[in-house]
């Protein structure tokens, strides 16, 4: 299936720019805005055409329960003594975060574009903001568009870049929950949502910062990533989350249309887990002018179009279905929907409203 909204099921092409780096170590600090390409990646988890482990529902649930604990086994403490740990300089910066041993992506180097306002003390609890890029995988550009807001709200900004090389197709925005073919269940530790939890743990470990949680925003494909992170890692250390202008959604229920359109085909969740999902502080942020049904990057299929034929309509439908489901199950819903007048499919123009939702 072509990747909803992002057209990313085309054959992946290597990301351009940078030279290969053979440095061995936990993390490679980069002084410029450039990053070395990662070494050849291990076989993709659950990729189409490859055998993936057939896991029982019990095994998947056990893995999810263990993996989504607030303090992940290999997120805290590991890499603390890394010889090349990033310094998070004031102003623009960047480093290559290396997935630790124990992760299914062990050894993957993920570029992280950073911005640190002068007022951010790395050793005192403060705001940490992850911004998730869209289909172009343009992390540096997203970082640059958020600098003014990071200054305004005195937040340490990190923009991880999920390159097509290491995370082709829907491994990014769909989270690799059911592989690239959307048919092969992947163990919870292989979901790409969990990379954010490990990266946050890495930041705490290398700086000694006691901050308990993080804010996260995503636009377009990044909005897909963020709302699914909320749904599938309900114990993630999120303070507030904003999913903006996503192309389509995973409805928080089971329907005739399987994942990534609903929970059908994913591990069964308990009542406690559903309560935790609806208790996450998620804002569904929609541009009122994001209404072009012929946008070439907007995916259409019978399943997607049941949610509407524009991003604006699909976002409203997603939120309405969440309210209905929470009401039927008599569960409090801490999600909210906010619309932005006059704004279409633009990260830059959505960002101020997103920052208000995150920090005010």
Q: What are phi and psi of 30, to 5 degrees?
A: -120, 125
Listed residue (102, 167, 107) closest to 135, CA to CA = 167
Top-confidence residue, 135 or 76: 135
Supply 56's token pair.
């029982």
As a whole number of angstroms, the distance between CA 123 and CA 153 comes to 18
pLDDT in tens, 227-271: 999 999 999 999 999 999 999 999 999 999 999 999 999 988 899
- The reported pLDDT for the residue numbered 195 is 97
pLDDT in tens, 160-198: 999 999 999 889 999 999 988 888 899 988 999 999 999
Model confidence band, residue 84 (pLDDT cutoffs 50, 70, 90): low
As a whole number of angstroms, the distance between CA 44 and CA 137 comes to 18
Is 15 part of any domain? no
Listed residue (211, 210, 207, 213) closest to 81, CA to CA = 207
What domain count does the chain have?
1
Is 4 part of any domain? no
To 5 degrees, how large is the angle CA 103–CA 112–CA 212? 70
Element (H, E) at 327: helix 311-328
As a whole number of angstroms, the distance between CA 124 and CA 137 comes to 31
As a whole number of angstroms, the distance between CA 43 and CA 45 comes to 6
The alpha carbon of 128 is separated from its chain's Cα centroid by a whole number of angstroms, namely 15
The stretch 198-225 carries a mean pLDDT of: 98
Burial of 56 (0-12, 13-18, 19+ CB in 10 A): exposed
Is 65 part of any domain? yes
Is 22 part of any domain? no
Say if CB 277 and CB 269 are below 8 A apart.
Answer: yes
pLDDT in tens, 323-356: 999 999 999 999 999 999 999 999 999 999 999 9
Is the per-residue pLDDT at 139 higher than 60? yes
Instruction: Give me the sign of the Cα torsion angle 225, 227, 228, 233.
Output: positive
pLDDT in tens, 48-78: 333 333 333 333 333 333 333 322 333 333 3
Is the per-residue pLDDT at 146 higher than 60? yes
- The reported pLDDT for the residue numbered 227 is 99
Domain hosting residue 244, numbered range? 27-359
The stretch 216-232 carries a mean pLDDT of: 99
The stretch 81-110 carries a mean pLDDT of: 87
Supply 41's token pair.
């990646």
In angstroms, how far is the first alpha carbon of the chain from the final one?
39
Is 157 part of any domain? yes
- The reported pLDDT for the residue numbered 4 is 40
Say if CB 211 and CB 125 are below 8 A apart.
Answer: yes
- The reported pLDDT for the residue numbered 269 is 84
Is 149 part of any domain? yes
One-character DSSP codes across 1-64: -PPTTT-TTSPP-PPPSS-B----SSEEEESSS--PBPPPPPPPTT-TTS------HHHHHHHH
As a whole number of angstroms, the distance between CA 235 and CA 65 comes to 9
Tell me the helix, strand and coil percentages in the chain, rounded to 5. Answer: 30, 15, 55
Q: Is 157 helix (H, G, I), strand (E, B) or coil?
A: strand
Supply 33's token pair.
């805005």
Is 174 part of any domain? yes
**Angle, nearest 10°, between helix axes 193-207 and 221-232?**
80
Mean pLDDT of the chain: 82
As a whole number of angstroms, the distance between CA 231 and CA 338 comes to 19
Supply 217's token pair.
């925003």
Is 1 part of any domain? no
- The reported pLDDT for the residue numbered 107 is 95
- Domain with residue 35: its CATH number is 3.40.50.1820
Report if pTM > 0.95.
no
Query: Which positions ≥6 away from 311 have C-beta within 8 Å?
Result: 5, 245, 246, 247, 286, 287, 290, 291, 295, 298, 345
As a whole number of angstroms, the distance between CA 116 and CA 154 comes to 8
One-character DSSP codes across 76-89: SSTTTT-TT-----
pLDDT in tens, 264-321: 999 888 999 999 999 999 999 999 999 999 999 999 999 999 999 999 999 999 999 9
């Amino acid at each position: 299936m072509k990747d909803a909204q992002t057209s990313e099921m085309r054959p992946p092409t290597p990301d351009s720019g940078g030279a290969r780096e053979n440095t061995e170590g936990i993390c490679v600090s980069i002084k410029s805005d450039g990053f070395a390409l990662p070494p050849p990646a291990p076989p993709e988890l659950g990729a189409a055409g490859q055998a993936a482990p057939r896991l029982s529902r019990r095994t998947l649930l056990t893995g999810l329960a263990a993996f989504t604990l607030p303090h992940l086994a290999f997120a805290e403490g590991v890499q603390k003594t890394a010889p090349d740990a990033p310094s998070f300089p004031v102003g623009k910066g960047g480093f290559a975060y290396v997935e630790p041993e124990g992760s299914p992506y062990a050894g993957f180097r993920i570029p992280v574009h950073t911005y640190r306002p002068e007022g951010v003390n790395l050793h005192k609890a403060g705001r940490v903001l992850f911004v998730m890029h869209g289909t172009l995988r343009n992390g540096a550009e997203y970082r640059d568009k958020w600098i003014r807001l990071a200054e305004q709200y005195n937040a340490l900004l990190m923009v991880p870049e999920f390159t097509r090389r290491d995370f082709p197709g829907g491994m990014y925005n769909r989270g690799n929950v059911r592989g690239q073919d959307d048919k092969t269940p992947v163990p919870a530790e292989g979901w790409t949502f969990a990379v954010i939890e490990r990266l946050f743990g890495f930041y705490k470990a290398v700086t000694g910062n006691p901050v308990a949680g993080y804010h996260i925003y995503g636009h377009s494909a990044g909005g897909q990533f963020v709302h699914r992170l909320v749904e599938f890692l309900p114990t993630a250390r999120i303070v507030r989350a904003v999913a903006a202008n996503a192309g389509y959604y995973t409805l928080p229920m089971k329907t005739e249309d399987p994942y990534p359109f609903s929970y059908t085909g994913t591990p069964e969740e308990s009542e406690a887990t559903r309560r935790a999902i609806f208790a996450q502080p998620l804002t569904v942020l929609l541009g009122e002018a994001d209404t072009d049904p012929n946008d070439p990057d907007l995916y259409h299929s019978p399943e997607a179009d049941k949610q509407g034929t524009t991003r604006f309509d699909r976002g409203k439908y997603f939120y309405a279905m969440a309210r209905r489901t929470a009401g039927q199950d008599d569960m409090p819903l801490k999600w909210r929907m906010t619309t932005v007048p006059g704004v279409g499919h633009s990260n830059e123009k959505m960002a101020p409203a997103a920052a208000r939702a995150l920090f005010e």
